[in-house]
Amino acid sequence: MSLTARDLGLFAIMGAVLAMVAMFQSPQLAITILNMSLISAIMALGVNMQWGYAGLFNVGIMGFTAVGGLAVVLIAMPPVPEAWAAGGLGILLGLMLGVATILAAVLVYKRMSPGALRGLAIFAVLVVGYFITSQVFGPAKQAVEAVNPAATGYLGGANLPVILSWPVGAVFAAGVAWLVGKVSLGLRSDYLAIATLGISEIVIAVLKHERWLARGVNNVTGIDRPVPRPVDLQPQPWVQSLADTMGWSLSQTASIVSGLGYSVLFLIVLGILIWLAERALNSPWGRMMRAIRDNEVSARAMGKDVTRRHLMIFVLGSAVCGLAGAMMVSMDGQLTPGSYEPLRFTFLIWVMVIVGGSGNNWGSVLGAFVIWFLWVQVEPAGRWVMETITSNMDVGSDLRRHLLDSAAYMRLLTMGVALLLMLRFAPRGLIPER
Amino acid sequence: MEPLNALVSVTNFMLIPALAYGSQLALGALGITLIFSILRFAHFAHGDTMALGTAAVIGGTFFFQSQGIGISPLPTALLAIPIGIVVMILYLLAADRMVYRYFRKVKAKPLTFVMASLGVMFVTNGLTRLFMGVGETRFEDGERFIFTVREFREFTGLAEGMALRSAQAITIITALVVMVILFWFLNRTRAGKSMRAYSDNEDLALLSGINPERVVVITWTITAILLVLAGTLYGLDKGFRPFNYFQLLLPMFAAAILGGLGSPLGAIVGAYVVAFAELGITFAWRRVFSYLAPEGMEPTSMMQLLPVDYKFAVTFAILVIVLLFRPTGIFRGKVI
Instruction: Report the b/e string of A164-194 with b at 16+ CB within 10 A.
Output: bbbebbbebbbebbbebbebbbbbbbbbbbb
Q: How far apart are CA A156 and CA A158, in angstroms?
A: 7
Contact A27, A359 (CB under 8 A): no
Most confidently predicted of A36-50, A145-159, A177-191, B277-291: A36-50
**Rounded distance between C-alpha atoms, residue A175 and residue A185, angstroms:** 15
Residue A113 DSSP symbol? P
B186–chain A nearest CA distance, Å: 26
Q: Do B112 and A427 touch (CB under 8 A)?
A: yes
Element (H, E) at B145: strand B145-147
Smallest Cβ–Cβ distance between A193 and the set B42, B131, B323 belongs to: B42
Partner-chain contact A413 B123, CB within 8 Å = yes
Put simply, whether B306 touches A (Cβ < 8 Å) is no
Q: Give the chain B residue nearest A184 (alpha carbons).
A: B323
User: Tell me: the pLDDT tens digits for B141-178?
Assistant: 888 888 888 888 888 888 888 888 999 999 999 999 99
pLDDT in tens, A39-92: 999 999 999 999 988 889 899 999 999 999 999 999 999 988 888 888 888 999
Task: Find chain A residues with C-beta within 8 A of B282's C-beta.
Answer: none
Rounded to a whole number of angstroms, the distance from the CA of A349 to the nearest CA of chain B is 12
Partnered with residue A156 across adjacent β-strands are: A79
B122 contacts in chain A (CB < 8 Å): 343, 347, 351, 412-413, 415-416, 419
134-153 in chain B: CB under 8 A from chain A:
none
The verdict on a CB contact (< 8 Å) between B309 and A209 is: yes
- Residue B229 near residue B221, CB atoms below 8 Å: no
In sequence order, the 6+-apart residues with CB closer than 8 A to the CB of B259 are: B29, B33, B265, B266, B267, B268, B269, B270, B271, B329, B330, B331, B333
**Phi and psi angles of residue A147, each rounded to the nearest 5 degrees, phi first:** -75, 105
Within a domain: B335: no
Q: Is the pLDDT of residue B299 over 80?
A: no
CA gap A322, A176 in Å, rounded: 10
The count of CB pairs under 8 A between chains A and B is 127
Name A313's Cβ contacts closer than 8 Å, sequence gap at least 6.
Answer: A49, A50, A53, A54, A56, A289
Contacts of A281 (CB under 8 A, 6+ apart): A53, A289, A361
Domains in chain A: boundaries: 19-79+156-425, 80-155
Instruction: Provide the domain count of chain B.
Output: 1
CATH number at residue B32: 1.10.3470
Do residue A405 and residue B246 have CB atoms under 8 angstroms apart? no
Q: For the purposes of burial, counting CB atoms within 10 Å of the CB of B10, is it exposed (0-12), middle (13-18) or buried (19 or more)?
A: buried
In this prediction, residue B293 has a pLDDT band, given cuts at 50, 70 and 90, of: confident
Alpha helices in chain B (DSSP H): 2-10, 16-38, 46-67, 77-95, 101-105, 110-132, 149-156, 166-188, 190-200, 202-207, 212-238, 242-247, 249-259, 264-281, 286-292, 311-325
The Cα–Cα gap between B269 and B275 comes to 10
Give the mean pLDDT of A317-327: 96
B80 assigned to some structural domain: yes
Inter-chain residue contact B121 with A57, CB threshold 8 Å: no
SS3 B165: strand
- Our CA angle for A361, A364, A370, nearest 5°, is 145
Query: Which residues does chain B have within 8 Å of residue A183's beta carbon, measured at their own beta carbons?
Result: 320, 323-324
* Out of A187, A410, A423, closest to residue B323 by CB: A187
Predicted confidence (pLDDT) per residue in A51-61, tens digit: 988 889 899 99
What is the model's pTM? Answer: 0.89
Averaged over A376-400, what is the pLDDT?
Answer: 79
In-domain check, residue B336 = no
Give the pLDDT band of residue A356 (cuts 50, 70, 90).
very high
Q: How close does chain B come to A18, measured CA to CA in Å?
A: 26
Whether the pLDDT of residue A2 is over 70: the answer is no
In the beta sheet, which residues pair with residue B145? B165
Residues belonging to chain A with any Cβ–Cβ distance to chain B shorter than 8 Å: 55, 57, 59, 130, 183-184, 187-191, 193-195, 197-199, 201-202, 205, 208-209, 342-343, 347, 350-351, 354, 405-406, 409-417, 419-420, 423-424, 427
CB-based contact, B44 to chain A, within 8 Å: yes
Cα–Cα dist A193/A187, whole Å: 11
In a domain, B222, yes or no: yes
Inter-chain CB proximity B323 and A415 less than 8 Å = no
Element (H, E) at A65: helix A61-76
- Which residue range is the domain that position B243 belongs to? 2-325
Q: A416 and B119: CB-CB below 8 Å? A: yes
Contact, B197 vs B208, CB < 8 A? yes
Chain A residue closest in CA terms to B304: A134
Cis (ω within 30 of 0) for the bond into A237?
A: no
Would the CB atoms of B114 and A57 count as touching at under 8 Å?
yes
Position B1 scores a pLDDT of 55
Give the pLDDT confidence of B303-331 residue by residue, as tens digits: 777 888 888 888 888 888 888 788 888 88
Q: Could you tell me the pLDDT band of residue B335, with boundaries at 50, 70 and 90?
A: very low
Task: Please report whether residue B334 resides in a domain.
Answer: no
Say what the pLDDT of residue B336 is.
32
Is residue B29 less than 8 Å (CB to CB) from chain A?
no
CB contact under 8 A, A351 and B110: no
CA gap A53, B69 in Å, rounded:
58
d(CA A303, CA A307): 12
Give every CB contact of residue A288 below 8 A, 6+ residues apart in sequence: A299, A304, A309
